[in-house]
Amino acid sequence: MVPLKLSRRRNPIRRQRLVLNDNEVYDEAVSESFPIYNKSHMICLQMPAGAGDVLVTSFGELGENEYLDPRTAQVAIVDHVKQVCTEVRPATDEELSSAYVEEFRSALDVEILKYAGEAYPKGVCSVYCTKGKEVEGPGFNFELVVVISACRLSPQNFCNGSWRSVWTIEFQDEAQVLEVKGKLQVGAHYFEEGNVQLDAKHECGDSTLFQSPDDSAISISNILRHHETEYLASLEVSYSNLPDNTFKDLRRKLPVTRTLFPWHNTSQFSLTREITKELGIGK
């Protein structure tokens, strides 16, 4: 019985219910907030019976609590509050891309899966068709979106981190050009003897030639690799300079008294005494 009591005591959902003390209001609030949180953080859930993983994103959202996994052509039904996949069904033809678009989507998925496995060992990725999935052949435009989500939680070491990137690729048939636009986001949280959080965002763009499915996939993955590597390197340079540059610029070298504060002997100061002196109280 002891483990059961401990698990209940540590359950954040149960604590929230107790604080709110109104189940009806709580159920209404979580039904709205949990889906927003799960999609914005692009969480990954395991599908039942070893069917694979599914990313919870707006790009794969088909209906209420239903999310497409294009790689396995399955639709996962998700419980947002418990953050679990309750069941899986096969995707219908209408929910999937045409055979022509699927050639480009699946080829790109293979390359991105390879890249994500090298760059983000704990990351997951997916490629969605967001526009023109009914296109049956050359002569029309369509759009693919690459999503990469990686999260490393290490609360025992007082730190958590996440990476999320969304790449939109416009296949412009007439111009024979692929326009690539990326939105990158890095999050970190360190809370040992303090509370430091990082939320960095970056947008970038590039383009390449419209080629065969395999060649286009390689070109796009190279663009992603280049920009993401470049952005991470710039972050490392920026934060390595924080102690010597940025932090020093955030505060005075000396206070207005032009005297260093005696941190080693703060007992000689009394806030009450100083206020009393300044206001002339007790005179």
Note whether 236 and 260 are same-domain residues.
no
| In the chain, % of residues over pLDDT 70 | 76
pLDDT at 211: 96
Whether residue 281 has pLDDT greater than 80: no
User: CATH number for the domain including 17?
Assistant: 3.30.1140.60
pLDDT at 3: 34
Whether residue 257 has pLDDT greater than 70: no
- Final residue of a domain: which of 93, 109, 131? 93
pLDDT at 277: 62
Long-range pairs of 180-185 with CB within 8 A, sequence gap ≥ 24: 180/205, 180/206, 180/207, 180/208, 180/220, 180/223, 180/224, 181/205, 182/206, 182/224, 182/227, 182/228, 184/227, 184/228, 184/231
Q: Six-digit token pair at 85? A: 């996949």
Q: Could you give phi then psi for residue 236, rounded to 5 degrees?
A: -60, -40
Q: Could you give phi then psi for residue 39, rounded to 5 degrees?
A: -75, -40
User: Do 137 and 49 form a contact (C-beta atoms < 8 A)?
Assistant: no
pLDDT at 7: 35
- Final residue of a domain: which of 62, 93, 124? 93
Range of the structural domain that residue 44 is part of: 2-93
Distance CA 87, CA 66 (A): 10
User: Do 75 and 66 form a contact (C-beta atoms < 8 A)?
Assistant: yes
Condensed to tens digits (0 to 9), the pLDDT of residues 47-69 reads: 998 778 999 999 999 988 999 99
Note whether 77 and 136 are same-domain residues.
no
Note whether 112 and 136 are same-domain residues.
yes
Note whether 170 and 107 are same-domain residues.
yes
Count the domains in the chain: 3
pLDDT at 192: 79
Condensed to tens digits (0 to 9), the pLDDT of residues 108-137 reads: 999 999 999 999 988 999 999 999 999 999
Whether residue 9 has pLDDT greater than 50: no
Distance CA 131, CA 246 (A): 43
- Final residue of a domain: which of 47, 76, 93? 93
Whether residue 217 has pLDDT greater than 70: yes
User: Do 23 and 17 form a contact (C-beta atoms < 8 A)?
Assistant: yes
Note whether 166 and 208 are same-domain residues.
yes
Note whether 176 and 240 are same-domain residues.
yes
pLDDT at 10: 47
Distance CA 31, CA 28 (A): 5
Q: Which residues contact 18 (CB under 8 A, 6 or more apart)?
A: none
